Amino acid sequence: MREVYQEQLGMLTDVLASMSAMVGTAMERATKSLLEADLTLAEQVIDEDALVDEARSRAEEYAFGLLALQAPVAGDLRSVIATIHAAEDMERMGDLALHVAKAARRRHPNAVLPDDVSAYFAEMGRIAVKLANQVSTVIRTHDVEAARLLEEIDDEMDDLHRHLFTVLMSPDWEHGVATAVDVTLLGRFYERFADHAVAVARRVEFIVTGKMPSR
């Protein structure tokens, strides 16, 4: 019975790690579509979001199966419940990449971003992908130190997000209210993507230590 449980838990881990890779790829493509007004890439992200949703459903199916059939206790139960929440976080990460892609599609063939802020989003996109990749590693290894490293990477995203507002609030801003609204929303999507990545890492730390990080 224990061997069956471990096998099923391994399948759940594989699905979660795969989800992290999927949302990282989605945000990478969405960022490129945003920066280059690439409609093909935007459509690809939009179409493939359903795959992330299916992966979450599969993760929940495995998790509920473990709860119903294996009757896990203590640390085992903690692992299953935490992974259910982690799958939800990663689905939200996929949704945020989807929002970026939809913004690129909505403004096509025009660019969404003025040159003043393009470099910010190129860097935020890079950090978002780095976070997703780090999450995948953390899920597979249960490395607490690697999980805590995501907090530092998230700080980089937060700094960029704050600096972005200095550009928007500058008296030199000349791109109008509509563009400012687009930039504000897009910046928020990247910041939230990072927050959800950190939430997944904290859940892994909870699985390992039994304590949810308070920071």
Q: What is the mean pLDDT of residues 184-190?
A: 97
76 pLDDT exceeds 80? no
179 pLDDT exceeds 80? yes
1 pLDDT exceeds 70? no
pLDDT, residue 210, reads 84
**What is the rounded average pLDDT for all residues in the chain?**
92
Which stretches within the chain are classed as H helix? 2-36, 39-69, 74-107, 115-141, 144-168, 176-209
Percent of the chain at pLDDT exceeding 90: 79
* Comparison of pLDDT for 11 and 181, the residue scoring more: 181
* Comparison of pLDDT for 13 and 98, the residue scoring more: 98
- 127-164 per-position pLDDT tens digit: 999 999 999 999 999 999 999 999 999 999 999 999 99
Q: What is the mean pLDDT of residues 114-126?
A: 96
Q: Which 8-state DSSP code applies to residue 113?
A: S
pLDDT, residue 16, reads 94
Q: How many other C-beta atoms lie within 10 A of the C-beta of residue 98?
A: 22
Q: Which CATH number fits domain 2-209: 1.10.760.10, 1.20.58.220, 3.40.50.300, 3.20.20.60?
A: 1.20.58.220
- 14-54 per-position pLDDT tens digit: 999 999 999 999 999 999 999 999 999 999 999 999 999 99
Q: Which residues contact 30 (CB under 8 A, 6 or more apart)?
A: 41, 42, 45, 97, 98, 100, 101, 104, 125
* Comparison of pLDDT for 53 and 68, the residue scoring more: 53
With H, G, I as helix, E, B as strand and everything else as coil, classify residue 193: helix
- 200-214 per-position pLDDT tens digit: 999 999 988 888 776
Confidence of residue 71 (pLDDT cuts 50, 70, 90): low
pTM of the model: 0.93
Per domain, the residue ranges of the chain are: 2-209
Confidence of residue 215 (pLDDT cuts 50, 70, 90): low
